Amino acid sequence: MVDRYATFANSAAGKALVTRLGLPAPTPLRRYSPGDPLVTGPVLVDAAPGGRLGPAVRAILDEAGVPLRDPVAAAVEAGASATPGRLAALIFDATGVTSSERLRTLYDFFHAHARTLLPSGRVIVLGTAPEDCAAPREAVAQRALEGLVRTIGKEFGRGSTAQLVYAAPDAPLESTLRFLLSGRSAYVSGQVVRVGPAVGPAAASSVDWEHPLTGKVALVTGAARGIGAAIARVLARDGARVIALDVPAAGEPLAALANEIRGEALQLDVTAADAPARLAAYLRDRHGRVDVVVHNAGITRDRTLGRMSAAEWDSVLDVNLSSQERINDAILDLLPPGGRLIQVSSMNGIAGNRGQANYATSKAGVIGLVQVLAPALAARGVTVNAVAPGFIETPMTARMPVALREVSRRLNSLSQGGLPVDVAETIAWFASPGSSGVTGNVVRVCGQSLIGA
Amino acid sequence: MVDRYATFANSAAGKALVTRLGLPAPTPLRRYSPGDPLVTGPVLVDAAPGGRLGPAVRAILDEAGVPLRDPVAAAVEAGASATPGRLAALIFDATGVTSSERLRTLYDFFHAHARTLLPSGRVIVLGTAPEDCAAPREAVAQRALEGLVRTIGKEFGRGSTAQLVYAAPDAPLESTLRFLLSGRSAYVSGQVVRVGPAVGPAAASSVDWEHPLTGKVALVTGAARGIGAAIARVLARDGARVIALDVPAAGEPLAALANEIRGEALQLDVTAADAPARLAAYLRDRHGRVDVVVHNAGITRDRTLGRMSAAEWDSVLDVNLSSQERINDAILDLLPPGGRLIQVSSMNGIAGNRGQANYATSKAGVIGLVQVLAPALAARGVTVNAVAPGFIETPMTARMPVALREVSRRLNSLSQGGLPVDVAETIAWFASPGSSGVTGNVVRVCGQSLIGA
């Protein structure tokens, strides 16, 4: 599935027409292909005085072979020249900001370098989670970073993204920095991510970043089509043995997909009374465990509340939420330390949406699931996170009325819809053995949509 | 300041034109005037089996003289008749919902009554905060309510609002129910409010709801104009002795306002080095205390980061955030048990906004201030909350480019801008002695704007 408008608007003829009509010409986003370098140019790392993360960040980038720009030279260049050397990413360690007055260091940095980013550039601000700050003034300043980063996401343009990463002192950061710098996070922007100390076994220092999931067993529900198929493909690409699950009616595309990714096809209706027991038995008998569980199966039955039938309410709640709770009860014991439980929520579960009372309720419940299970499973070494997709180009969105679809595509900082692979890459980041400190997060994959709550 | 479009669109000639052009004709919102009844018709209260709040809610409404509709009769009526009796409010106690399967009771209720609300009707769902639920399934179901309530806010239309109130078992609910039912909450919708056990002295059972602030000393910064002046007027109307503070340059309108509301005018630049000490001395010498502090003073200096001057950054951060922290340090000791600290954040502090890096950073910091100070001051009996206004009709927004202003006005569930008084009424709810359980909340006054994070 491609964004046809973006493709058209960036063709030679399209560009001319789009410019003439004053329509937005979204920047083609840099997306990941195996073998790609993390970034497309040099990265500038700077810090507020007293920051604690600079050395760790530089070590990670060094080891990843990322070219670093010297902050002093870059500042001179930015001040002296109208066309300073372009940068692939700006990383600022704001952990030294202990008061609102000291936020000024971030202004100095981003004011100087606002215009230096290459297309699909990356902005990453590192901070301390307000709830982890001892001093009130520090907590306030750290919380203020959210407003800055979300504004940068809306200002910098040309396919660039901006994120705020709140990192605990001993947080394993490498998988998160790699994800956010790379083309894998193409459609993730304006997000606040918390990385804590490692839950379960710490990542081996020798993660194979091209195939981090080698040897892992991953279950993906709703895998036959759309976003689910993209998830299955990306997890398989990253080395996992994928069990692709879908309803019997989707048996044909499911088998084709399983074949393509050398995985297993499992036909099962997740809402069936015996589904949890059957699934648990399958996982136990075939693999003795499951390392990664991705609850992706979801349906919509859109109707305003006054017109919605009880069956439309029940089926959406059951597929999108209740069945996942029942399945978790049956299979969580099969997740070993280092296990990953991943949910698919939705922007509409955050903001609500006209005609989707059933869907928004179920997807808000999924956020509750993450909030409840992340602390509960941490002691067992299992992380729990969710993605919340925004407007993603799928057969479903392709059937939307054209005007609504065009507006929906444009209402975000990247002025385009996302692709199923963007959701899948975010899930693969959660799934990575390197992401042992990433738990309890709900990360929107929405191009920083305007829509929220 | 009025919404001229709304006034025009609801005039006879305007209505015809608006209909012909397909423009939205926003419903004129019911706003509060002294002496108004809480609601304009009967209220239906129902509950999921096992709910714990129904009796308390009914008692509050009974005492307030609100006519209650019998749930059984209402259900029969809704099912039997195409034109059932119209209702002023739908209140549903969802505290009995202990699993996602049981969310069905909310579907049943709102499906039956979705079309029965009078214009400017009210929907209030009561629940248990997910973090207070013992069982995971219950926490998930309670969190799911957010998606439902936000959708109802977007669906029901005609000036109606919808809120989710998470209430602790011993939460004093009366001030919150009164606010949300009344015309005082005209522009508040799609909000999630937490009411906990009383902080400080419990409200006397004999709150004078027409003049709840009688005998209270209230400080309002930035009071000379716009939203600040509206806050000063509403607090004075509710009985408070208001100290209206603003910069010396605004001395004339400030004096006029203080005269109008029989309050005190205090000329002071909050960013001056001696401002905290001078203000503390004033409050101590004149009143020996301050019961309500409203940090409303705020400025904008809009510019993208690359073009923003250091002075533009510094002045916005200092007025909107740092000076408030310095003043708090000097005057918090003057807040007695039952004291109220109230901040003004902004929708753009939540979502970020192009051209407002300084403003969004400062207003995000204000949210941090609430999160830090609410638990810290609870032991001293002081509550801490913030409003986050969306598009409010002020002289500032009147100067916006017309197209941008019209779009900004419409991007919310009420299809119109709010008025300064809407922000002021929300602050008066926080300030009320009855709101002893309302702390740590950031409540948007935005008509449920689409814009968020």
pLDDT in tens, A298-336: 999 999 999 999 999 999 999 999 999 999 999 999 999
- Give the single-character DSSP code of A263: -
By Cβ distance, the residue of B141, B305, B352 closest to A147 is B352
Verify whether the Cβ–Cβ distance A357 to B152 is below 8 Å.
Answer: yes
User: What are the residue numbers of the active site of A?
Assistant: 359
DSSP H helical segments within A95-225, as ranges?
104-113, 136-155, 174-181
CB of A129 within 8 A of CB of B344? no
Q: What residues are paired with B68 via a beta bridge? A: B43
By Cβ distance, the residue of A306, A322, A371 closest to B143 is A371
Q: Inform me whether the pLDDT recorded for B405 exceeds 90.
A: no
Mean pLDDT, residues A374-403: 93
HSE-CB at A232 with a 13 A cutoff on CA atoms is: 32
DSSP H helical segments within A248-321, as ranges?
251-260, 275-287, 310-317
Is A364 near chain B, with CB under 8 Å? yes
Tokens linked to A408: 């929906």
Tokens linked to B119: 């214009």
- Nearest-CA distance B437 → chain A (Å): 22
Interface mutation target, options A87, A150, A324, chain B, most CBs of B under 10 Å: A150
Verify whether the Cβ–Cβ distance B190 to A352 is below 8 Å.
Answer: yes
pLDDT in tens, B216-227: 999 999 999 999
Residue A25: pLDDT band with limits 50, 70, 90: confident
Is A114 near chain B, with CB under 8 Å? yes
Tokens linked to A231: 């998830």
Confidence (pLDDT) at A16: 59
Q: Inform me whether the pLDDT recorded for B199 exceeds 70.
A: yes
Q: What residues are paired with B195 via a beta bridge? A: B167
Nearest CA in chain A to B365: A144
Nearest CA in chain B to A325: B137
Q: Which of A255-264, B13-22, B56-65, B151-160 has the least mean pLDDT?
A: B13-22
Verify whether the Cβ–Cβ distance A143 to B364 is below 8 Å.
Answer: yes
CA–CA separation, B112 vs B99, rounded Å?
21
**ipTM (interface pTM):** 0.94
For B269, residues 6+ apart whose C-beta sits below 8 A from its C-beta are B247, B248, B275
Q: Inform me whether the pLDDT recorded for A402 exceeds 90.
A: no
Percentage of chain B surpassing pLDDT 70?
92
- Nearest-CA distance B333 → chain A (Å): 16
Q: Inform me whether the pLDDT recorded for A78 exceeds 90.
A: no
Interface mutation target, options B100, B138, B362, chain A, most CBs of A under 10 Å: B100
Verify whether the Cβ–Cβ distance A352 to B152 is below 8 Å.
Answer: yes
Q: In angstroms, how far is CA B71 from the centroid of its own chain?
A: 29
Specify the amino acid at residue A303: R
- Nearest-CA distance A263 → chain B (Å): 32
Residue A154: pLDDT band with limits 50, 70, 90: very high
Average of per-residue pLDDT values in chain A: 93
Q: Inform me whether the pLDDT recorded for B211 exceeds 70.
A: yes
CB of B233 within 8 A of CB of B451? no
User: What interhelical angle do B226-237 and B251-260 show, nearest 10?
Assistant: 20
pLDDT in tens, A250-284: 999 999 999 999 999 999 999 999 999 999 999 99
Q: Inform me whether the pLDDT recorded for B108 exceeds 80.
A: yes
Verify whether the Cβ–Cβ distance A100 to B321 is below 8 Å.
Answer: yes
Confidence (pLDDT) at A399: 87
Verify whether the Cβ–Cβ distance A305 to B110 is below 8 Å.
Answer: yes
CA angle centred on B285, ends B279 and B286, rounded to 5°: 90
Specify the amino acid at residue A375: P
Confidence (pLDDT) at B404: 84
CA B297, B300, B306, B311 dihedral sign is negative
Is A308 near chain B, with CB under 8 Å? yes
CA–CA separation, A43 vs A123, rounded Å?
10
Q: Inform me whether the pLDDT recorded for B73 exceeds 90.
A: no
- Give the single-character DSSP code of B339: -
Q: Strands, DSSP E only, in B177-289?
A: 191-195, 217-221, 241-246, 264-267
Confidence (pLDDT) at A1: 44
- Nearest-CA distance B30 → chain A (Å): 23
Confidence (pLDDT) at B14: 56
CB of B387 within 8 A of CB of B423? yes
For B297, residues 6+ apart whose C-beta sits below 8 A from its C-beta are B221, B222, B228, B245, B246, B270, B319, B320, B323, B324
Q: Which of residues 376-405 of A touch B (CB under 8 A)?
A: 376
Confidence (pLDDT) at B118: 96
Average of per-residue pLDDT values in chain B: 93
Cβ atoms within 10 Å of B57's Cβ, excluding its own = 23
**What is the widest separation between alpha-carbon atoms in chain B?**
69
Confidence (pLDDT) at B82: 47
Confidence (pLDDT) at A281: 98
